[in-house]
Amino acid sequence: MNFSTPIEEIPRVGPQYQKKLKKLGIKTVGDLLFHFPHRYEDFSNIIPISEVKVGKLVSVRGKILDIKNIRTWKKRMTLTRAIVGDDSGAIQVIWFNQPYLINTFKKGDLVFLAGKMNLKGGGRYLSNPAYEKLNPKELSNPDLVHTGRLIPIYPETQGLSSRWLRFIIKPLLSKLENKFLDFLPEKIKKEYKLLSLKEAIWQIHFPDVLKLAKSARDRFIFEELFILSLAILQQKMKLIKERAKAIPINVELIKNFVNNLPFKLTNDQRKAAWQILKDLEKSKPMNRLLEGDVGSGKTIVAIIVILNTAKAGYQNVFMAPTEILAKQHFKTLKTFLKDFNLNIGLITSKGNKLNNEKISRKDILEKIRNNQVDILIGTHALVQEKVKFGKLALVVIDEQHRFGIEQRAKLCQQKDFIPHLLSMTATPIPRTLALTIYGDLDLSLIKELPKGRKKVITKIIFPREREKTYEFIRQQIKSRRQVFVICPRIEPSNNIFEKNPSWREVKAVKEEFEKLSKEVFSDFKVKMLHGKMKIKEREEIMEDFKAGKIDVLVSTSVVEVGVDIPNASVILIEGADKFGLAQLHQFRGRVGRGKEQSFCFLFTDFPGKRTSQRLRALLSCENGFELAEKDLKIRGPGDFSGQRQWGIPDLIMDALKDIDLVEKTRQAAKEVLEENPELKKYPLLKKKLEEFRKRIHLE
């Protein structure tokens, strides 16, 4: 028997139990041993029977002096009543509806019992205690599983009791304990004071003391983060070996550009642009994330860098998540770069442009290959699939941070270098995540907004203020403002047939749309937008909204970040309590881009203290990064990263809250890789890492 032995081969696990185990995702012995308890009951303090007090959870050891079954006619159940005594005294014990116990115990048996002392109908009795018969041969050092020690309590599913799990797991541990191959290097275990795998797996199931259970858990968290860090650092090392084009900084050019802008750059914009230009000066491929709130002016930073690259004779590609955003960027780049004599191209599913002219797909692809297009703008889908570049040196990606080495390599046909990569996002990604699941990116932050922006007025709206708020919004529309309505996020339910919440989300949008278009805003033009609509249809609606042909746009949370609609001055968020703070802040950023005063209404049906406290953080805090850190502390990182997308287990996601731990494991991974980049010295670790890669798709 080993870790990969199927559960069918475990003695005493019948077909019924096999089914139940599989429901928990447990298919092998290894799965079962890694089904960890979520808490422990402390039955380790064994007291003399004379000291047992009513109302207390107690643990005793004694002899069965008497035992019999009693039928109670009134309640139609069977009681098993025993008298158990030790040197100090005796107590009554009652088990309910377990008549078979009469066959488990006989007079004279030595037992451990743990349970609560009750007082009812004038009698004192130990009620339904956990029990364990003592083997007379092991009196001095009994092998206890259910009583007389710290007892593991497992996350249970119907019909799989902790008692049963203990009963199965403990013998397996004994049988297999010498087969636990520890893949953590000794050096690392020593340096970071970690338990060995054998110790850890024993202690997490059957801890000697609680502190050791915690040490065991720490080791497992460490090991998961360690593997994650290894995977990411190894990927990064592979990238460092690649070459990119070193682009010299043309200071004159940039000064000229910046001095002719219609506004003054913020300090953060300057700093970010400089950091990026410095990266590009090197022949080491850049891997940088530019984070900045909605409206903080990331685009202009990208334009500065693109200008420098283009004028050095290399190509740039600017990728947007949607065609409407691609078009918006195309217009912006053309305007800002009109005096620099550059060829700017746009490809969309509906047609392509080169500067101000329409151009066929074939012709533009040809020109891109021949290095006659300096800057190409398009969606990820189109660019990645269809385009071959002649001299691509820089890829800028807007609002989508998942982009890996492989895709990057695919984009460029030139053999001797790969492009630099700049990712831009308004999602404030906390540092721990940027270091880990986002692939150890370098970070540039734009924390300040350009001067003179009007503050968006934010309000939490409880049910009784709903009507009043609708009336206010109607007045806004009458003065020709436009409104976003965001429908609540829908959590996946426990029903396994309904893992994908997006259909229900669509239903919610449809219902809200019905209500708003027929009742609340019946005299205005209301449209809806959701992820199950055709892309073309979605883009048309966004175009219409942008052109002012729609008053109210009802949508799910997933649609269209980054589109600039200055006339939209109200955003109403239903079920605001269901969203993360950072995301709410991002929604808020969709308004407040024009001259008018803007409003953000957070609707919630739960005026509970905790909810409103959390939402209130939005009233006082204007900073996406602070909000993101708050979110990370309160809700964990799942919200940022689309946990399901990555397939990262809860245990790691949770550990990612802890920056110290993340830094520590990263350090450990670095040490190991620096000494042994291919992990040849650690074959077990290498194997583990390969398994991890298969399980988790970092890119």
Our finding on whether 586 is near ligand ADP (CB under 6 A) is no
> Which of 562/592 has CB closer to Mg ion?
562
263 binds, among Mg ion, ligand ADP, none (CB under 5 to 8 A by kind): ligand ADP
Our finding on whether 562 is near Mg ion (CB under 5 A) is yes
Structure tokens given for 64: 């069965």
The 8-class DSSP code of residue 337 comes to: T
> Which of 322/436 has CB closer to ligand ADP?
322
Give the separation between CA 53 and CA 48, rounded to whole angstroms.
Answer: 11
Q: Is the dihedral of CA 383, 384, 386, 391 positive or negative?
A: positive
Question: In the range 30-49, which residues lie near Mg ion by CB under 5 A?
Answer: none
Structure tokens given for 621: 């805090």
Give the separation between CA 315 and CA 303, rounded to whole angstroms.
Answer: 13
Q: Is 381 exposed, middle or buried (0-12, 13-18, 19+ CB in 10 A)?
A: middle
Least distance in angstroms from the C-beta of 681 to Mg ion = 46
Our finding on whether 594 is near ligand ADP (CB under 6 A) is no
User: What phi-psi label fits residue 612: left (phi over 0), alpha (psi between -120 and 50 degrees) or beta?
Assistant: alpha
450 binds, among Mg ion, ligand ADP, none (CB under 5 to 8 A by kind): ligand ADP
- Of how many residues is the chain composed? 699
Query: Which residue of this chain has its Cβ atom nearest to Mg ion in the complex?
Result: 562
> Which of 162/269 has CB closer to ligand ADP?
269
Contact 432, 259 (CB under 8 A): no
Q: Is the dihedral of CA 72, 77, 78, 83 positive or negative?
A: negative
> Which of 281/564 has CB closer to ligand ADP?
564
Which are the contacts of 506, defined by CB distance < 8 A and separation ≥ 6? Answer: 530, 531, 532, 556
Intra-chain end-to-end CA distance of the chain, in Å: 36
CB atoms within 10 A of CB 129: 26
Query: Which residue of this chain has its Cβ atom nearest to ligand ADP in the complex?
Result: 297
Contact 107, 65 (CB under 8 A): yes
> Which of 310/563 has CB closer to ligand ADP?
563
Name the segment binding Mg ion (CB under 5 A); options: 496-504, 559-567, 607-615, 631-639. 559-567
Our finding on whether 297 is near ligand ADP (CB under 6 A) is yes
Our finding on whether 430 is near Mg ion (CB under 5 A) is no
Contact 72, 240 (CB under 8 A): no
Buried/exposed 430-449: b ≥16 CB within 10 Å, e otherwise: bebbbbbbbbbbeebbbbbb
Name the segment binding ligand ADP (CB under 6 A); options: 261-269, 409-417, 646-654, 676-684. 261-269
Our finding on whether 583 is near ligand ADP (CB under 6 A) is no
418 binds, among ligand ADP, Mg ion, none (CB under 5 to 8 A by kind): none
Our finding on whether 298 is near ligand ADP (CB under 6 A) is yes
Structure tokens given for 259: 């001095």
CA-closest candidate to residue 82, choices 59, 111, 57: 111
**Which residue in the set 78, 229, 296, 322 belongs to the binding site for ligand ADP (CB under 6 A)?**
296
Using DSSP bridges, classify how beta strands 57-72 and 77-86 pair: parallel, antiparallel or unpaired: antiparallel
Contact letters for ligand ADP, residues 547-576 (x by CB under 6 A): ---------------x-x------------
Tokens 């007892």 appear where?
A: 151
Our finding on whether 265 is near ligand ADP (CB under 6 A) is yes
Phi and psi (nearest 5°) for 6? Answer: -70, 150
> Which of 310/561 has CB closer to ligand ADP?
561
Query: Applying CB under 6 A, what is the total number of residues that bind ligand ADP?
Result: 17
Question: In the range 165-194, which residues lie near ligand ADP by CB under 6 A?
Answer: none
> Which of 224/293 has CB closer to Mg ion?
293
> Which of 285/428 has CB closer to ligand ADP?
428
> Which of 195/375 has CB closer to Mg ion?
375
**Which residue in the set 91, 168, 294, 376 belongs to the binding site for ligand ADP (CB under 6 A)?**
294
> Which of 412/422 has CB closer to ligand ADP?
422
Our finding on whether 321 is near ligand ADP (CB under 6 A) is no
Buried/exposed 567-584: b ≥16 CB within 10 Å, e otherwise: bbbbbbbbbbbbbbbbbb
Which are the contacts of 460, defined by CB distance < 8 A and separation ≥ 6? Answer: 576, 602, 604, 612, 615, 616, 619
Give the separation between CA 575 and CA 251, rounded to whole angstroms.
Answer: 50
Q: Is 213 exposed, middle or buried (0-12, 13-18, 19+ CB in 10 A)?
A: buried
> Which of 300/602 has CB closer to ligand ADP?
300
**Which residue in the set 30, 390, 450, 638 belongs to the binding site for ligand ADP (CB under 6 A)?**
450
User: At 573, which amino acid appears?
Assistant: I
425 binds, among Mg ion, ligand ADP, none (CB under 5 to 8 A by kind): none
Query: Applying CB under 5 A, what is the total number of residues that bind Mg ion?
Result: 1
Our finding on whether 162 is near ligand ADP (CB under 6 A) is no
Which are the contacts of 688, defined by CB distance < 8 A and separation ≥ 6? Answer: 183, 227
Our finding on whether 266 is near ligand ADP (CB under 6 A) is yes
265 binds, among Mg ion, ligand ADP, none (CB under 5 to 8 A by kind): ligand ADP
Question: In the range 273-292, which residues lie near ligand ADP by CB under 6 A?
Answer: 292
Our finding on whether 338 is near ligand ADP (CB under 6 A) is no
Which residues partner with 580 through β-bridges? none
3-state secondary structure of 57: strand
Least distance in angstroms from the C-beta of 265 to ligand ADP = 5
Our finding on whether 297 is near Mg ion (CB under 5 A) is no
Q: Is 487 exposed, middle or buried (0-12, 13-18, 19+ CB in 10 A)?
A: buried
User: What phi-psi label fits residue 184: left (phi over 0), alpha (psi between -120 and 50 degrees) or beta?
Assistant: beta
Least distance in angstroms from the C-beta of 13 to ligand ADP = 57
Least distance in angstroms from the C-beta of 647 to ligand ADP = 30
294 binds, among Mg ion, ligand ADP, none (CB under 5 to 8 A by kind): ligand ADP
Question: In the range 303-332, which residues lie near Mg ion by CB under 5 A?
Answer: none
> Which of 345/624 has CB closer to ligand ADP?
624
Site for Mg ion, rule CB under 5 A: 562
Site for ligand ADP, rule CB under 6 A: 263-266, 269, 292, 294-300, 426, 450, 562, 564
